[in-house]
Amino acid sequence: MSYKVLVIGGVALGPKAASRCKRLMPEADITLIDENNYISYGGCGLPYYISGEINNLDDLRATPYHTIRDPQFFADMKGVKVKNQTRALAIDRAAKTVLVKNLVTGQQENLPYDKLVLATGAKPRMPPVPGHDLQGVHSVTRMEAAGIIRQACQEGKVEKAVIVGAGFIGLEVAVALADMWGVECSVVEMMPQMLPGVLSANFGKMAEHDFAQHKVALYADEKVLRLEGREGHVCKVITDKRELDAQLVIFAAGFLPNGQLAKEAGLEVAPFGAVVVNEHMQSSDPDIYAGGDCCAIPNLITGKVGYLPLGSLANRQGRIIGTNLAGGDSTFAGYVGTWAVKLFDMSFCGVGLTIERARKEGYDAVSVAVEQLDRAHFYPEKNMMSLELVVEKGTRRVLGMQGACTAGDALKARIDAVAGVLQYSKPTLDDIANLEVAYAPPFASAMDIVNAVANAADNVLAGRFNTATASEFMELWKNRAENKLFFIDARPKAGSKALAEQYPDAWHGISMEEIITGAVEIPEHVDVALICNTGLRSYEAELVLQRKGHTVINSMGGMQAVNKIGGSV
């Protein structure tokens, strides 16, 4: 009797688990089914096919040697039988069989298993708005849709597009359409900001500004009500605030885990529909494994069950399941939530909780943002980087960090360093202040920005640094008639001159040097709002002003942060 493994789902985790198991246990009899035609493709690459950066759709399902990963490839090279266009209808756990249906012939059969793997993935959340079934309305999870979208662009059929959802895929697709095809794009997002849940409202404005610079509109806090068509093809999107012409509408409003099959088989499923697994990636039935986008996994920061549908997690979990299928003992502890996205000029990257999410989870948290160059300030090539660190107040525990920079790899380096610490310990601020990252002038500052943001947070917690985000600072400036704050621009005169001349009674160009030496008198008893270029000089000035009895509020990241959110005095 051969050892039978059945895998349902053939995109990322399924093929990985099947191939790994077969490598370790050549005698295993492994079958993989998938209801679609294409299997084993890099779904995360679809926006780059739409943009044209990837020339051929088949590149997404090819090995680095351009061999297409089709059923024949898996049969010949991996020893895995693949039945595509075959849907799993029901699991009979007692008989250990899965009833499947060939979608081409309509034929049904029961496939036996000793071990079953659920790699059923997730489906795009499609709000049931009228018109969602018109032509020209897509999601970007299947290769077929990406092909249709690119062709429509190539043929010049798309002048205007609306993307519903400002998450990773929505933004990547908007960049692809606007940057490469010159399509006039609008992004409609129900939540009040870009990248909700992964970026703070503060840094979300940096992403929004990057889009605005490239003439892509964000309509946040806005809901799509219906789509209108002409001759069966979409032509208009009606939101609760406006009407938008569009020949192409893309829904990228998140994912729903495909846990139905598991649920119907009586397996434990989380309230949001994902299959619950233990650290061996086994469902509540130890003969049934689940992983990837269909399954719930522990969030290592909050300790709660969470969900993170990412191709990278699916691949790593696939290897773990493959090892365990073959009798091994491999475990997956959970996720800390690292991510990266490249927009137009800026890349964004993060790990763990945002400040908003942390507070929602009940943490008494604070976030601190800094602007600093990514390498030694005397090194010729360098980029201004923004990092925001989220910290629990009492314990000083670090809950997350997010960042923005034009240099994506340099940003990734800072985020991944903190991600590594978060994954295997519970770091405090002091641990990040001492984080030992690789240093030489072409790579980092001697006091690197990842240390600097922790140092700044330390100063905030100690009450030495009373902060305003760039947008809070601009809000204070706007309302200066009411709040009566005394605004000081602590940059050298050359930096503050233009604004000080423009607002002679309101914007005071008093340099850090003048504040420290007391060369310029500051009216007694005034409350001060301080800003400089990046926040370094204003911090030194703040200490002096506080000692003189002033209440000070200090702009985090200075004018650099203000510029990145598109603010202007």
Q: Does residue 315 touch its own copies according to CB under 8 A?
A: yes
Identify residues 272-311 at the interface with its own copies (CB under 8 A). Answer: 310-311
Q: Contact between 270 and its own copies (CB under 8 A)? A: no
The residue range among 138-146, 230-238, 243-251, 434-442 that interacts with its own copies, by the rule CB under 8 A, is 434-442
* Local structure of residue 37 (DSSP, 8 states): S
The yes or no reply on residue 389 touching its own copies (CB under 8 A) is no
The answer to whether residue 231 forms part of the interface with its own copies (CB under 8 A) is no
Q: Which one of residues 1, 128, 155, 446 is an interface residue with its own copies (CB under 8 A)?
A: 446
The beta strand positions in 433-524, using DSSP E, are 467-468, 486-489, 507-509
**From CA 8, how far away is CA 545, in angstroms rounded?**
65
The answer to the question of residue 30 lying near its own copies (CB under 8 A) is: no
Contact 110, 4 (CB under 8 A): no
- Regarding 441 and contact with its own copies (CB under 8 A), the answer is yes
Q: Cα separations (Å) of 135 from 138, 236, 248?
A: 8, 12, 9
Can you tell me which of 333, 479, 502, 520 binds its own copies, judged by CB under 8 A? 333
What is the smallest separation between the CB atom of 260 and its own copies, expressed in angstroms?
A: 25
44 binds its own copies (CB under 8 A): yes
Least Å distance, CB 443 to its own copies, is 4
Q: Assess 437 for contact with its own copies (CB under 8 A).
A: yes
d(CA 372, CA 456): 12
Q: x-or-dash pattern for its own copies, window 168-207, by CB under 8 A?
A: x---x-----------------------------------
When asked if residue 480 is in the footprint of its own copies (CB under 8 A), the reply is: no
Nearest Cα residue to 456 out of 437, 431, 484, 429: 429
Residue from the set 280, 316, 359, 396 that interacts with its own copies by CB under 8 A: 316
Binding test (CB under 8 A) with its own copies, winner from 125, 359, 513, 569: 513
Rounded to the nearest whole angstrom, what is the least distance from the CB of residue 203 to its own copies in the complex? Answer: 15
Counting contacts by CB under 8 A, is residue 386 touching its own copies? no
Q: Residues 6 or more apart from 358 whose CB is under 8 A from it? A: 365, 367, 390, 392, 399, 400
485-504: contacts with its own copies (CB under 8 A):
491-492
Question: Is 44 a catalytic site residue?
Answer: yes
Judged by CB, which is closer to its own copies: 91, or 387?
387
Q: Which of 1, 2, 26, 128 binds its own copies (CB under 8 A)?
A: 26
Q: Indicate whether 440 belongs to the interface with its own copies (CB under 8 A).
A: yes
What is the gyration radius of the CA atoms in the chain, in angstroms? 27
Q: CB 288 → its own copies: shortest distance, Å?
A: 22
> Least CB distance from residue 525 to its own copies, whole Å?
21
Burial of residue 284 (number of CB atoms within 10 Å: 0-12, 13-18, 19+): middle
Catalytic-role residue among 21, 44, 153, 295? 44
CA dist., res. 441 & res. 418, Å (int): 21
Contacting residue, 92, 133, 243, 430, with its own copies by CB under 8 A: 430
Considering the complex, what minimum distance in angstroms separates the CB of residue 319 from its own copies? 7
Pick from 118, 351, 404, 565 the residue near its own copies by CB under 8 A.
351
Across 203-236, b (16+ Cβ under 10 Å) vs e yields: bbbbbbbbbeeeebebbbebebeebebeeeebbb
Cβ–Cβ under 8 Å, residues 50 and 150: yes
| Measured CA angle at 366 (ends 364, 367), to 5 deg | 150
Amino acid sitting at position 155: E
Q: How far is the CB of 81 from its own copies (least distance, A)?
A: 15
Give the residue, chosen from 1, 64, 481, 523, that forms a contact with its own copies under the rule CB under 8 A: 64
Query: In the set 249, 415, 470, 529, which binds its own copies (CB under 8 A)?
Result: 415
Return phi, psi of residue 344, to 5°.
-80, -85
Nearer to its own copies, 32 or 116 (CB): 32
As a whole number of angstroms, the distance between CA 569 and CA 566 comes to 10
Interacting positions 110-169 with its own copies (CB under 8 A):
168
Q: Is 408 in the site for its own copies (CB under 8 A)?
A: yes
Both tokens of residue 453?
């943001």
**Spatial CB neighbours of 162, under 8 Å, sequence gap ≥ 6:** 185, 186, 187, 188, 237, 244, 246, 248, 249, 250
Q: Check residue 436 for interaction with its own copies (CB under 8 A).
A: yes
Nearest approach in angstroms of CB 421 to its own copies is 4
Residue 72: which residues within 8 A CB-CB, separation 6 or more? none
Q: Over 127-154, what HEC string results?
A: CCCCCCCCECEEECCCHHHHHHHHHHHH
Cα 561 to Cα 464: distance, rounded to the nearest angstrom: 20
Phi/psi for 100 (5° steps) reads: -125, 160
Tell which one of 182, 327, 442, 504 touches its own copies (CB under 8 A). Answer: 442
Selected binder of its own copies within 170, 427, 509, 567 (CB under 8 A): 427
Beta-carbon contacts of 257 under 8 Å, excluding residues fewer than 6 positions away, are 121, 122, 272, 273, 274, 275, 293, 294, 295, 296, 307, 309
Residue selected from 275, 349, 355, 500 as contacting its own copies according to rule CB under 8 A: 349
Q: Active-site residue numbers?
A: 44
